[in-house]
Structure 1
Amino acid sequence: MDILYNLLHYLQKRGFEVCRRIADRLGIRARVVRTSFIYLTFVTLGFGFALYLFLAFWLKIKDLIYTKRTSVFDL
């Protein structure tokens, strides 16, 4: 049971952070966004999960493109 708790804690802290970033953008709690994704997944038979993975991929690409550089020599 301790292994499961450690895995859950790791995924919450170092996951894709899609829900947190959406919640920050909308100004709501991340728990509400996570719950919405869970309900959307059950209601639409997997569309919520597919949407979550698409958003995670899109945010990762966006982070790679728009990295902040402190100077010209950071290339």
Structure 2
Amino acid sequence: MFQRIITYFEQQSFGVSTYLANRLNMSTAKVRLFFIYSSFLAVGFPILFYFLAAVVLDIRTYMKRMRLRIWE
């Protein structure tokens, strides 16, 4: 049951934690814990950063897809 919940959230997430973990050569779990703990300490500011980063990453992947379609 718990494993299904974890896989659901990993599939539905925006990929911000995974992207940052890969760029910083860290564990994805550590990045997620950082966002959770810092959101409690900073009264939600990291949540705003997370959503902005999700929008930026989504735009980047959209632009990459469009660029590939143009050259095909």
TM-score, normalised to structure 2, is: 0.80
Instruction: Please name the residue that 1:42 is paired with.
Output: 40
Higher relative contact order (CA 8 A, sep 6+): 2
> Which structure's residues are more often helix, by fraction?
2
- Trace 1:3-14 onto structure 2 (pairs within 5 A): 6-14=4-12
Cα deviation digits, residues 44-75 of structure 1 (max 9, x gap)? 111011111111011001111123628823xx
Larger Rg: 1
CA RMSD of aligned residues (A): 2.1
What residue ranges of structure 2 are gaps of 5+ in the alignment?
none
- Which ranges in structure 1 are unaligned for 5 or more consecutive residues? none
- Sequence identity, in percent? 25
